[in-house]
Amino acid sequence: MDFKIRAAEKEDCKDISRMIMELAVYEKMSEQVKISHEELERDGFSQNPFFECLVAEVTDEHKSKEGFKVVGYALYFYTYSTWKGRTVYLEDLYVMPEFRGNGIGKGLLSKVAEVGKKKQCVRLQLSVLNWNTPTQDFYAAKGAQDLTASEGWHFIRFDGQNLDNLANEAPKS
């Protein structure tokens, strides 16, 4: 199947938003999705973007049952390791079910690696749910290590009231 991978544009935010929800449904946590396509436009396509995104687009003849041509995406941003330096963090990788198995996921993942390498990143990191073994296998087949298994890291978050409380306790100086 012919497809191309390109940098997302502001106009792609409706498609990205749709696929963010599809991925969240797959991950059985759709009720947690609060982001709007307007927020994605603001956060990814303003002067100091918080993320970058690649999309996979198929030709007219291969478009989805519902008429979509943008059928996959990889959303990533940059972070930093005090041990190793520049790191690219892959937040989302998704290919619509009817387009899987055509090399699109691998194409998106490789392209993020290439973009990261061009920016001198030495690591590509991501997290994946413990039951999502098909995707864990997909990453492992490409050479990824599972750091929870090998090093015991936990994934920690502050949000909502806990984040507010923490921020409110900041020393005033």
Ligand X SMILES: CC(C)(COP(=O)(O)OP(=O)(O)OC[C@H]1O[C@@H](n2cnc3c(N)ncnc32)[C@H](O)[C@@H]1OP(=O)(O)O)[C@@H](O)C(=O)NCCC(=O)NCCS
Residue 138 found at the interface with ligand X (CB under 6 A)? yes
Residue 81's φ and ψ, nearest 5 degrees, are -105, 125
Residue 20 found at the interface with ligand X (CB under 6 A)? no
Choose one: 6-14, 93-101, 111-119, 158-166; the region binding ligand X (CB under 6 A).
93-101
Residue from 6, 106, 117, 119 binding ligand X (CB under 6 A): 106
What are the CA-CA distances from residue 52 to residues 37, 89, 90, 91 (Å)?
A: 14, 10, 10, 10
**What does R_g of the chain's alpha carbons equal in angstroms?**
17
Alpha carbon distance 123, 82 (integer Å): 12
In whole angstroms, the minimum distance from the beta carbon of 47 to ligand X comes to 29
DSSP 8-state class, residue 33: -
In whole angstroms, the minimum distance from the beta carbon of 144 to ligand X comes to 11
What are the CA-CA distances from residue 66 to residues 70, 71, 97, 154 (Å)?
A: 11, 11, 13, 39
Residue 24 found at the interface with ligand X (CB under 6 A)? no
Residue 54 found at the interface with ligand X (CB under 6 A)? no
Bridge partners for 58 per DSSP = 3
Residue nearest ligand X, CB atom distance: 105
Residue 76 found at the interface with ligand X (CB under 6 A)? no
Tell me which residues touch ligand X (CB under 6 A).
23, 26, 93-95, 100-106, 126, 128, 132, 134-135, 137-138, 141
